Each structure stands twice: as C-alpha cells, then as structure tokens.
Structure 1
Amino acid sequence: MSKAALLRRYHLVLGLFIIGLILSGLTAFPLLHELRLMASWLGIQHHAEYASHGGLSFWIGYVWHGLEVTQAQFPFVAYGTDWLAFGHIMIAVFFIAGPWRDPLPNAWVLKVGLFACAAVAPLALICGAVRCIPLYWRLVDCSFGLFGALPLLYCLHLVRQMSAGTSRNS
C-alpha cells in the first residue's frame, strides 16, 4: 500500500477516534437532559419513582434522581462534569496538533492514549466499587477504554508501515 493510502486510512481512523473524544466530552455537559430522555425511554415518568423499577431502569432512575436533587440544591457540583467535558475536548486537541498533523514523530501521543485507555479499566473497577456503581455499569465504562484502544492500535500499526516505507525510500 502506498504511503498516501496509508495516510488516508490513518487519518480516517484517527479522525473517528478524535470525533469520539469530542462527542464524549460534549455529552458531559447536558447530563440532566440526557438522563431525563433516557428515563422517559425506559418508562420512568418522575425521578423520585426510581425505586419501583429494577435493573438498568432502577440505575438510570436513581442517577437521574441524584442529579435532579443535586442540581436543585448544589448546582455547582455540575461544574465537575463541565471540566470532564473540557478535558475530553482538550485531549482531542493533542491528537489533532500532534499525530494528525505529523504521524511519525508523534506516535508517542498514540502510545500515551493507549496507556490512558488501559487505565480506564482499573479506574472504573476500583473507583466504581468505592462509589457503589453497579458492576454492569463499570463494565460499560471499561468498554470505552477497550473501544478507544482499538483505533489507536491500528493507527500505530499504520505508523509502523509508513515508517518502514520511509526508511526503504531513504
């Protein structure tokens, strides 16, 4: 495969990863609205009625109730998720400024991203247990690390191929 074709494929995959980071960040801003919507899909009409549900419906209703109460009494707590959103978007900027623009010398950013993806699982499993997050939800959180690692691994593979092609042409 030509270097141009490798670069196109690399940009496509890294672009999807960057878009995923940005979207993950943006969804941290309207949490309460998202929970209201998800609760209505699950048939929960009011946040205080979460206890009459089971499984995922209970969990979504419980989280919705917690956010409604927190928003009403302590709206500043949501500032933490605003910073979470900001962090995701800024991490995306690092991928744009480094590996997107110049893949070979910035492959280290992909490796740091892989480390961050691997760190998602212990964080979710340990901190989630401390915060009483149900195991099934912690596993959903772990999946973000796994699904984030896949495009980064593929991009590293493409970088190695581009690097091998460059050294052969030298």
Structure 2
Amino acid sequence: MSDSNGPRALLARIRLWLVLFVICLVLSGVTAFPLVTELRLVDEALGSWAAPVAEFLPGLAEWIARVRGGVEAAGEQAPYLLYGTDWLAFAHLVIAAAFYGAYRDPVRNIWVVEFGMIACAGIVPLALICGPIRGIPFWWSVVDMSFGVIGVLPLLHVRRMIKRLEAPAPTSPSIGVPTVR
C-alpha cells in the first residue's frame, strides 16, 4: 500500500490545510490592529505608485480615501471607537487558536472545522444586512462576502478529508481483514 494515500498522508494534508487557514485568519486579524496606518499607506499608494489601480478602479480609490478620513477622524476625536477593531483582531486570533484542536485530533474535533464553515456562511447575511445599514457600497459588501466564500472552500476540503480519515478501512468480506488499496 502506498503511503501517499494512507492515513498518515491524509492527516498530513489535513494539517497542512489547517495551518494555511490559520495563517490567513491570523493575518486577517493582526491587520485590524494598525488600521489607521494601513489605510494611510494604501491611500498614499493609490495616489502614487499604484495610481494605475486608482485610474482603473476610481470607486475603490474614492472609497479608500473616504474610509481613511473617517478612521483618522475617529482616531483623533473618538479613539475608543477603534477599540472595536482591536476586538475584531482578537476574535480572529481566538478563532485561529481554536483550530489547534482540529490540528491535533481532526476526527474528534471536526466540530471546529464545521464551526468555521458556519462562521464563513454567516459573513454573507451579515454583509447583505449590515452593509446597507452602515452605508457600505454593495461592491465592498461583495468583497467582504468573498472572504466567507473563499474561506469555506478549504474548510469543506478539510472536512471531506477528515470524514475519509474517520471512515473505517474496508475489510475483505471472506476473512474480515483490511483490504489493501
């Protein structure tokens, strides 16, 4: 039996996908801490070396400038509002930490992967409901929803692999020994 299809190889692939997912969660979380600086850098880049992007997508450049102005004003006049993005970042990091259980024992902790899938699915109604309430352009809500759609894809793949890992090895009907694949 080739180990490339065996349980160890499957476990290694599951863990690799989980590590990649956690890296993305952590990156998306830590980028919420320096929000004012990030928006300033992106806005300045769109006005200089990334000017072709701003010319091709003027709505994006206008939106980034508007958000930068709002976040800077909030930071100056009501810095406690930015505390909300600190909590957003913290939530990403806590969710990422929960995936350690799935990394350690994917079969027993498949619920973590399923929880992540539910969270990804929840992004869509959140963006569709809260986006218009908060005056977010629809195209930006689509960008937000894409995180849920893109995020659920590796989790679906991981869940399928975990189900394969959890399935008992088929046995030979005549003598009850595992069948070599």
TM-score normalised per structure 2: 0.84
Q: CA deviation at 1:165?
A: 4.4
Q: 1:72 aligns with which of 70, 76, 79?
A: 76
- Aligned-partner Cα distance in 1 for 2:9–2:107: 15
Q: 2:34 matched to 1:21?
A: no
Q: 2:146 matched to 1:108?
A: no
Match of 1:163? 166
- Aligned-partner Cα distance in 2 for 1:167–1:108: 25
- Equivalent AA in structure 2 for residue 146 of structure 1: V
Match of 2:51? none
Residue ranges of structure 1 left out of the alignment (5+ in a row)? 45-52
Higher helix share: 1
Say if 1:99 and 1:166 are closer, same or farther in 2 by CA, change over 3 A: farther
What does 1:56-71 align with in structure 2 at a 5 Å threshold? 56-71=60-75
Q: CA deviation at 1:164?
A: 1.6
- Aligned-partner Cα distance in 2 for 1:155–1:135: 31
- Aligned-partner Cα distance in 2 for 1:75–1:167: 61
- Equivalent AA in structure 2 for residue 6 of structure 1: L
TM-score normalised per structure 1: 0.90
Alpha-carbon contact 1:3-1:165 (below 8 Å) kept:
no
- Aligned-partner Cα distance in 2 for 1:157–1:87: 26
Say if 1:31 and 1:167 are closer, same or farther in 2 by CA, change over 3 A: farther
Residue ranges of structure 2 left out of the alignment (5+ in a row)? 49-56, 172-177
Q: 2:137 matched to 1:134?
A: yes
Alpha-carbon contact 1:32-1:64 (below 8 Å) kept:
yes
Match of 1:8? 12
- Equivalent AA in structure 2 for residue 3 of structure 1: P
- How many residue pairs get aligned? The number is 160
Q: CA deviation at 1:42?
A: 1.1
Q: Percent identity?
A: 49
Counterpart secondary structure, 1:122: helix
Q: 1:32 aligns with which of 33, 36, 50?
A: 36
Runs of 4+ in 1 over 3 A off after TM superposition: 165-169
